[in-house]
Protein backbone atom coordinates (compact mmCIF):
# COMPACT_ATOMS: atom_id res chain seq x y z
CA UNK A 1 0.00 0.00 0.00
CA UNK A 2 2.49 2.61 1.21
CA UNK A 3 6.14 1.97 0.44
CA UNK A 4 8.97 4.17 1.60
CA UNK A 5 12.45 3.43 0.19
CA UNK A 6 15.72 5.02 1.37
CA UNK A 7 13.91 8.22 2.28
CA UNK A 8 16.07 11.17 3.35
CA UNK A 9 14.90 14.56 4.55
CA UNK A 10 17.25 17.46 5.18
CA UNK A 11 16.84 20.92 6.68
CA UNK A 12 19.74 22.74 5.06
CA UNK A 13 22.81 20.76 6.08
CA UNK A 14 21.05 18.95 8.90
CA UNK A 15 19.86 15.50 7.90
CA UNK A 16 16.74 14.75 9.91
CA UNK A 17 15.90 11.46 8.18
CA UNK A 18 18.76 9.32 6.89
CA UNK A 19 17.68 6.83 4.28
CA UNK A 20 14.87 4.95 6.00
CA UNK A 21 12.75 2.23 4.41
CA UNK A 22 9.45 0.85 5.62
CA UNK A 23 6.12 -0.29 4.29
CA UNK A 24 2.51 -0.40 5.40
CA UNK A 25 0.31 -3.17 3.97
CA UNK A 26 -3.37 -2.87 3.14
CA UNK A 27 -5.54 -2.74 6.26
CA UNK A 28 -2.50 -2.76 8.49
CA UNK A 29 -1.85 -0.47 11.43
CA UNK A 30 1.86 0.25 11.58
CA UNK A 31 3.41 2.35 14.28
CA UNK A 32 6.47 4.53 13.96
CA UNK A 33 8.03 4.99 17.39
CA UNK A 34 10.86 7.10 18.67
CA UNK A 35 11.88 9.92 20.97
CA UNK A 36 11.70 13.64 20.24
CA UNK A 37 13.93 14.53 17.33
CA UNK A 38 14.11 11.00 15.97
CA UNK A 39 12.77 12.21 12.62
CA UNK A 40 9.24 10.81 12.84
CA UNK A 41 7.36 14.00 12.11
CA UNK A 42 9.75 14.93 9.31
CA UNK A 43 9.01 11.53 7.76
CA UNK A 44 5.27 12.15 8.02
CA UNK A 45 5.46 15.66 6.61
CA UNK A 46 7.57 14.39 3.75
CA UNK A 47 5.08 11.65 2.87
CA UNK A 48 2.26 14.22 3.06
CA UNK A 49 4.08 16.42 0.55
CA UNK A 50 4.66 19.29 2.96
CA UNK A 51 8.43 18.70 2.96
CA UNK A 52 10.63 17.83 -0.01
CA UNK A 53 12.56 14.58 0.15
CA UNK A 54 16.28 14.94 -0.43
CA UNK A 55 16.54 11.32 -1.51
CA UNK A 56 14.67 8.05 -1.84
CA UNK A 57 11.15 7.32 -2.99
CA UNK A 58 7.60 7.09 -1.66
CA UNK A 59 5.01 4.99 -3.49
CA UNK A 60 1.31 4.74 -2.73
CA UNK A 61 -0.50 1.79 -4.31
CA UNK A 62 2.24 1.56 -6.91
CA UNK A 63 2.10 5.28 -7.74
CA UNK A 64 5.18 7.39 -7.13
CA UNK A 65 4.30 10.32 -4.86
CA UNK A 66 7.83 11.32 -3.84
CA UNK A 67 7.69 14.77 -5.44
CA UNK A 68 3.92 15.25 -5.16
CA UNK A 69 2.45 18.44 -3.71
CA UNK A 70 0.23 18.19 -0.60
CA UNK A 71 -2.89 18.61 -2.74
CA UNK A 72 -1.80 15.75 -5.03
CA UNK A 73 -1.05 13.44 -2.11
CA UNK A 74 -4.54 13.79 -0.64
CA UNK A 75 -6.07 13.21 -4.07
CA UNK A 76 -4.01 10.03 -4.35
CA UNK A 77 -5.83 8.80 -1.24
CA UNK A 78 -3.47 9.57 1.62
CA UNK A 79 -4.73 11.87 4.39
CA UNK A 80 -2.53 13.34 7.10
CA UNK A 81 -3.31 14.45 10.63
CA UNK A 82 -0.34 16.61 11.67
CA UNK A 83 0.86 16.69 15.25
CA UNK A 84 0.17 20.41 15.57
CA UNK A 85 -3.58 19.68 15.61
CA UNK A 86 -4.24 22.23 12.92
CA UNK A 87 -7.92 23.02 13.10
CA UNK A 88 -8.89 26.25 11.38
CA UNK A 89 -9.73 28.07 14.62
CA UNK A 90 -12.04 30.77 13.30
CA UNK A 91 -14.02 28.39 11.11
CA UNK A 92 -16.89 26.41 12.60
CA UNK A 93 -16.65 22.67 13.19
CA UNK A 94 -19.01 22.13 10.25
CA UNK A 95 -16.89 24.33 7.96
CA UNK A 96 -13.74 22.50 9.01
CA UNK A 97 -15.38 19.19 8.12
CA UNK A 98 -16.69 20.59 4.86
CA UNK A 99 -13.16 21.57 3.83
CA UNK A 100 -12.03 18.05 4.69
CA UNK A 101 -14.28 16.90 1.86
CA UNK A 102 -12.89 19.55 -0.51
CA UNK A 103 -11.69 16.98 -3.04
CA UNK A 104 -15.17 15.42 -3.12
CA UNK A 105 -17.06 18.72 -3.10
CA UNK A 106 -19.17 17.77 -6.12
CA UNK A 107 -20.42 14.58 -4.45
CA UNK A 108 -22.71 16.18 -1.88
CA UNK A 109 -24.79 13.08 -1.18
CA UNK A 110 -21.65 11.04 -0.48
CA UNK A 111 -20.35 13.76 1.83
CA UNK A 112 -23.62 13.83 3.74
CA UNK A 113 -23.48 10.07 4.31
CA UNK A 114 -19.85 10.26 5.33
CA UNK A 115 -20.58 13.14 7.70
CA UNK A 116 -23.39 11.17 9.30
CA UNK A 117 -21.08 8.20 9.80
CA UNK A 118 -18.45 10.45 11.39
CA UNK A 119 -21.04 12.09 13.62
CA UNK A 120 -21.92 8.70 15.06
CA UNK A 121 -18.22 8.01 15.58
CA UNK A 122 -17.67 11.45 17.16
CA UNK A 123 -21.00 12.56 18.67
CA UNK A 124 -19.27 15.53 20.28
CA UNK A 125 -18.58 17.07 16.90
CA UNK A 126 -22.25 16.85 15.94
CA UNK A 127 -23.20 18.74 19.10
CA UNK A 128 -20.66 21.47 18.42
CA UNK A 129 -21.06 21.71 14.70
CA UNK A 130 -21.89 25.45 14.67
CA UNK A 131 -19.16 26.38 17.15
CA UNK A 132 -15.81 27.93 16.13
CA UNK A 133 -13.18 25.18 16.13
CA UNK A 134 -10.80 27.34 18.17
CA UNK A 135 -13.19 27.13 21.12
CA UNK A 136 -13.04 23.33 21.35
CA UNK A 137 -10.99 21.51 23.99
CA UNK A 138 -7.74 19.85 22.96
CA UNK A 139 -9.33 16.41 22.78
CA UNK A 140 -12.23 17.68 20.70
CA UNK A 141 -9.83 19.45 18.35
CA UNK A 142 -7.94 16.19 17.93
CA UNK A 143 -11.18 14.40 17.07
CA UNK A 144 -12.03 17.18 14.65
CA UNK A 145 -8.75 16.94 12.73
CA UNK A 146 -9.11 13.16 12.50
CA UNK A 147 -12.73 13.44 11.37
CA UNK A 148 -11.73 16.14 8.89
CA UNK A 149 -9.04 13.89 7.43
CA UNK A 150 -11.60 11.09 7.11
CA UNK A 151 -13.96 13.37 5.18
CA UNK A 152 -11.48 13.02 2.31
CA UNK A 153 -12.29 9.26 2.31
CA UNK A 154 -8.61 8.26 2.30
CA UNK A 155 -7.31 4.74 1.82
CA UNK A 156 -4.30 5.50 4.04
CA UNK A 157 -4.33 7.69 7.14
CA UNK A 158 -1.19 9.16 8.72
CA UNK A 159 -1.66 10.05 12.36
CA UNK A 160 1.09 12.14 13.92
CA UNK A 161 1.07 11.93 17.73
CA UNK A 162 -2.67 11.96 18.30
CA UNK A 163 -2.15 11.66 22.06
CA UNK A 164 0.19 14.64 22.39
CA UNK A 165 -0.72 16.85 25.34
CA UNK A 166 -4.07 15.21 26.05
CA UNK A 167 -5.43 13.96 29.38
CA UNK A 168 -5.10 10.17 29.90
CA UNK A 169 -8.87 9.60 29.78
CA UNK A 170 -9.04 11.32 26.41
CA UNK A 171 -5.99 9.48 25.10
CA UNK A 172 -7.85 6.29 25.98
CA UNK A 173 -10.82 7.39 23.86
CA UNK A 174 -8.61 8.43 20.96
CA UNK A 175 -6.99 4.98 20.90
CA UNK A 176 -10.37 3.25 21.09
CA UNK A 177 -11.34 5.25 18.06
CA UNK A 178 -8.14 4.31 16.24
CA UNK A 179 -9.05 0.67 16.83
CA UNK A 180 -12.51 1.27 15.42
CA UNK A 181 -10.98 2.82 12.32
CA UNK A 182 -8.63 -0.12 11.99
CA UNK A 183 -11.46 -2.64 12.11
CA UNK A 184 -13.20 -0.67 9.40
CA UNK A 185 -10.32 -1.66 7.11
CA UNK A 186 -8.47 1.65 6.96
CA UNK A 187 -4.69 1.48 6.52
CA UNK A 188 -3.03 3.54 9.24
CA UNK A 189 0.49 4.77 9.94
CA UNK A 190 0.59 5.90 13.56
CA UNK A 191 3.45 8.00 14.89
CA UNK A 192 3.63 7.95 18.65
CA UNK A 193 5.77 8.62 21.68
CA UNK A 194 3.25 6.82 23.83
CA UNK A 195 4.86 3.42 23.19
CA UNK A 196 2.66 1.11 25.21
CA UNK A 197 -0.58 2.40 23.85
CA UNK A 198 0.72 2.48 20.30
CA UNK A 199 1.96 -1.12 20.50
CA UNK A 200 -1.37 -2.22 21.96
CA UNK A 201 -3.19 -1.26 18.75
CA UNK A 202 -0.43 -1.75 16.17
CA UNK A 203 0.19 -4.84 14.02
CA UNK A 204 3.79 -3.95 13.36
CA UNK A 205 6.16 -1.23 14.48
CA UNK A 206 9.37 0.51 13.50
CA UNK A 207 11.60 2.30 15.99
CA UNK A 208 13.46 5.40 14.85
CA UNK A 209 16.48 6.97 16.44
CA UNK A 210 18.49 9.93 15.14
CA UNK A 211 16.92 9.74 11.72
CA UNK A 212 17.38 6.02 11.15
CA UNK A 213 15.29 2.92 11.80
CA UNK A 214 16.95 0.90 14.55
CA UNK A 215 14.38 -1.83 15.11
CA UNK A 216 11.39 -3.32 13.38
CA UNK A 217 9.00 -6.22 13.80
CA UNK A 218 5.55 -7.14 14.98
CA UNK A 219 4.18 -5.24 17.93
CA UNK A 220 4.86 -8.30 20.11
CA UNK A 221 8.47 -8.58 19.02
CA UNK A 222 9.16 -4.90 19.54
CA UNK A 223 7.60 -5.00 22.97
CA UNK A 224 9.53 -8.07 24.14
CA UNK A 225 12.89 -7.99 22.38
CA UNK A 226 14.10 -4.48 21.85
CA UNK A 227 15.14 -2.38 24.74
CA UNK A 228 12.88 0.55 23.99
CA UNK A 229 13.86 2.70 26.91
CA UNK A 230 17.42 2.84 25.61
CA UNK A 231 16.21 4.27 22.32
CA UNK A 232 14.17 6.83 24.15
CA UNK A 233 16.59 7.74 26.85
CA UNK A 234 19.67 7.52 24.65
CA UNK A 235 21.32 4.68 26.67
Partner 1 sequence: MAFAIQFVIDVLSLGGAYALMALGLVIIYGILRLVNFAYGELIMVAGYTMYLTSGSGLPWLLMAALAVVMAIVFGILTDYVAFRPVRAKSVTAVLITSFAFSNLLQNAALLFISPRPRNVPLPDIFSQTVSIGGAITPVRNLITIAASIVLLAAVAFLMRKTTLGIAMRAAATNFTMARMLGVPANLIITSAFALSGFLAGVVGLLWIGRIGTVVPGVGLEPLLVAFIATVIGGMRSLPGAVVGGFLLALIDTTLNYTLSQDLLKFRDAFTFSLVILILLWRPEGLIKGPASGQRT
Q: Which residues bind partner 1 (CB under 8 A)?
A: 48-50, 69-71, 73-75, 79-80, 82, 86, 88-91, 95-96, 98-100, 102-103, 105, 134, 148, 152
User: Which residue(s) pair with 183 in the sheet?
Assistant: none
Alpha helices for 122-167 (secondary structure H): 123-127, 138-150
User: Which residue(s) pair with 156 in the sheet?
Assistant: 78, 187
Minimum CB separation of residue 167 from partner 1 in Å reads 21
Residue number with CB closer to partner 1 (52 or 218): 52
Residue number with CB closer to partner 1 (56 or 77): 77
The side-by-side arrangement of strands in the sheet containing 2-11 is 14-24, 2-11, 55-60, 63-64
Minimum CB separation of residue 204 from partner 1 in Å reads 25
Residue number with CB closer to partner 1 (71 or 176): 71
Residue number with CB closer to partner 1 (76 or 210): 76
Question: Rounded to 5 degrees, what angle do the CA atoms 231, 29, 232 make?
Answer: 10
Spatial CB neighbours of 14, under 8 Å, sequence gap ≥ 6: none
Minimum CB separation of residue 54 from partner 1 in Å reads 16
Minimum CB separation of residue 230 from partner 1 in Å reads 34
Amino acid sequence: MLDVRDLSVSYGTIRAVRGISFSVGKGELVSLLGANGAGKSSTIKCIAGALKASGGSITLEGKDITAASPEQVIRAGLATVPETRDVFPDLTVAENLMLGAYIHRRDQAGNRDNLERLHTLFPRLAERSAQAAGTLSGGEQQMLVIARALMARPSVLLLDEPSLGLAPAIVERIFEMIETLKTSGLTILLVEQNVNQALAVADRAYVMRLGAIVASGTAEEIRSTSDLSSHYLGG
